[in-house]
Every structure is written in C-alpha cells, then in structure tokens.
Amino acid sequence: MKTKPSSLLMALERRRTLPDALLETDIITGLRTGELPSPTRLGNSLYFRMRMTGTGPVWRAQSGNTYRDPAQYINREFVSACVGIPLVMDHPASGRIGPDDKIVGTTVAAYTYQAPESPPEVWVISRVLDGGAQETLLNEVMSTSPSVIVGDSPDGFSEGAPIVLDHLALVKQGVWDLGGPPEGIDQEQIFNDSYDEVSQMTKDEMRELIRATVAESLAGKVLADSSPEDFSAKVDALVSQKLDSALAAHNPAAQADKDSYEATLRRRFQG
C-alpha cells in the first residue's frame, strides 16, 4: 500500500516548483512539528520558535522570588491570546509598547511544551520582518522576555492572573532562562554553524589557537625577565599541558551538546 505524503511534504514540493506556493500555514505546521528548522524563511520574513513564557518558581530583580501558576497560563484562553503579540528588541523604557516603539515582528501561532521534570511553558511561532532584527537573530544567541501585566497576588508570593499580554521582547537573557544560558529562541543555524566550525578544527589549528592565547596571557608576566627562547619554551610547555586535555574533551563534549540539543527538539515537537 502506497503511503500518502504529508501535507507539509506536498507543500514543500509545490514550493520547489512554484514560487510562493508554500503558505504561512505550512511554515507554522513544519515548525510546530519540528519538520522545518528554526528559522525558516518565507519571502521577506524569518519564522522562529520562541518561548513566550515559563511557569513555576522564578526570581525577578524587582520582586525577588515569586511563582507563576501554570494553571493561569497552560490553558486554551491564554495560549490563544499569545497569537498576534508584537515583537520588540528589548523592553521599552516604559514597560509597555507606545506609538514610538519599533515593532520587528509578531507571533503567529502558540502551543504548550513541557520538558521532563520541568514546569510547562508556552511557546510561539514568531514572524520576524525587520531586517536588523533578522541579522541579529542570525548571528547572536538571544532569548525572550514577555511583558505580562498581572493582577494582585492571591497570597503575597504568587503572581496574580494575567490581565494584558503587551509584547514579547528579544533580549540577551530572559528571566525564564532561570540564570542559565539563553534558550528562549531556537536558533538552529547559529548552533549548527558553531558546532561545525569547532568540529572541523584540526589538531594543528587547535594547537595554534591555544598557543596564541597562552602567549598573549603570559607576555606581560614573563617576557620582561625572560629571553625569547625561554619565553617560547614556557609557552610550548603550557600548550602541551592543555592540548591533550582539550582534544580529549572537545569531541565528546561537543557531540554531547549536539545530541542533547537534538534530543530536546525531538521531545518538544514529537512528544
């Protein structure tokens, strides 16, 4: 029995033969299921998977430890409200979008996701139109930070219910990164480029990189009272100490990072 091709694969075939045949709905489906990479380009836009908000315990600079109740966010009403939210680069000074603030894109779809042993989150598919914002997201690791106006706390610790979802800011690090590396935007191109660049380094290239770094670090400390020959010998000695450990750790660590990243994507979009 012949297997019927998926609607996404059929759309991709249309795109190959007919310009502009791939619709935004096809992009949303492909990003949502993980069949398309983040970002995916369509016309003048880049489409990314982005975290709208996390839930559970969180620390905020303004209020310290607090708690965002998942029940207030992991529901159809809030997830539906996450569509059509404007994207901005960093939060406006006033905390809310005004007529003079530049909008760089918008959210076009929303869904929920929960990693193992972690509180649930709301994620969105975002369409980025602004050229400067696109350039930043293609070259710098970024995250997200939502602006949610909430009601009064029911107990003095937990946040109140969400009232207004004002915007989603693209930032260097968001509060829902929980003090870790920025993870609010799936930027697969940056990850893959960085992994390939490091993975393709030869042993000699790595040696030269370490040697240049060590030489620069030592120059001000030992060059003044050392002959050029002694200085070079000290650099070589330190390079030899570091190179083997760097090589031993390099490939397994990089592969582990890549495997972990890909496993996370599989859980997020297939589970």
165 and 207 housed in the same domain: no
Tokens of 242: 């570091």
pLDDT digits (tens, 9 = 90+) for 115-152: 888 999 999 999 999 999 999 999 999 999 999 999 99
Q: Contact, 28 vs 108, CB < 8 A?
A: yes
Domain residues for the domain of 174 are 21-186
135 and 171 housed in the same domain: yes
170 and 107 housed in the same domain: yes
pLDDT digits (tens, 9 = 90+) for 35-76: 899 999 998 999 999 999 999 999 887 778 999 999 999 999
Q: Confidence band (pLDDT; 50, 70, 90) for 10?
A: low
Domain count, the chain: 2
10 within domain boundaries: no
26 and 142 housed in the same domain: yes
Among the three residues 163, 186, 209, which one is the final residue of a domain in this structure? 186
Per DSSP, 158 falls in state B
Per DSSP, 185 falls in state B
90 and 221 housed in the same domain: no
- pLDDT of residue 25 exceeding 80: yes
Which own/partner pairs from 148-154 qualify as long-range (CB within 8 Å, at least 24 positions apart)? Answer: 148/53, 149/96
The helix/strand count (H/E) of the chain reads as: 7, 9
109 and 212 housed in the same domain: no
Closest CA to 130 of 58, 250, 199, 44: 44
pTM of the entire structure? 0.67
178 and 205 housed in the same domain: no
- 10-24, 44-58, 178-192, 244-258: least confident range: 244-258
Helix, strand or coil for residue 252? helix
Rg value, the chain, Cα: 24
128 within domain boundaries: yes
Q: Confidence band (pLDDT; 50, 70, 90) for 244?
A: low
77 and 145 housed in the same domain: yes
pLDDT above 90 covers a percentage of the chain that reads 51
